[in-house]
Amino acid sequence: MTRIEKADISPTMIKLLLTYGREYKLTHLPREVPRGPLGECFKNCADVAILSDMFNEDGSPALLYSKPYRYVEGIALELKQGKNPKMVYHAWLTDGKRAIDPTYYQNAWDGYKVKWDKYRYIGVEIPTEFIDDFLEQTEMYGILDRHKQCPALYKKLVAHLRDGQYSTYSSS
């Protein structure tokens, strides 16, 4: 059996991803989505998802982007053959089908080169309302590994994922 090299990924997050996660195939970065700095994937993706989910005063979509991009958190699992593939806690966007990664490009990341197309993306979509609530309470990006900081919100997210009702999230 191959040992997976983990980078501070909690057993709670792994369990959540095994239960509710799905795999996303990487696609090209649309021109309208800004490329974000490496090491800030959670902020890069949350900002785009929140902006693409904005509405005008009359309730119509603000259409800052040509389509809505949804926020996903999970792991990127290296497809390397042999020993010790890397597992990286990561965030990306989705158009509902594919992974769109604003931090996807070859560059230094934690001391080694990353080619994100050599990874499997496994994650869960997180509604922007939940991101807003989490940011308001913690002033931090990245949700799945912070279940101890906001246990009530985390429980609501798990219930939300279990019910599969992304459009009915309520922070109350």
Quick: pLDDT tens for 56-93.
Answer: 677 776 667 777 889 999 998 887 766 677 788 899 99
Tell whether the torsion through CA atoms of 128, 133, 135 and 136 is positive or negative. positive
Domain count, the chain: 1
- How far the first Cα of the chain sits from its last, in Å, is 45
* Beta-carbon count within 10 A of 151 CB: 10
% of the chain with per-residue pLDDT over 90: 19
Tokens of 116: 């994100």
pLDDT digits (tens, 9 = 90+) for 129-155: 889 999 998 888 989 988 888 888 888
Is the CB of residue 134 less than 8 Å from the CB of residue 43?
no
Q: Which of 17, 151, 147 is nearest to 91 (CA)?
A: 17
Domain of residue 132 covers 5-168
pLDDT at 170 over 50: no
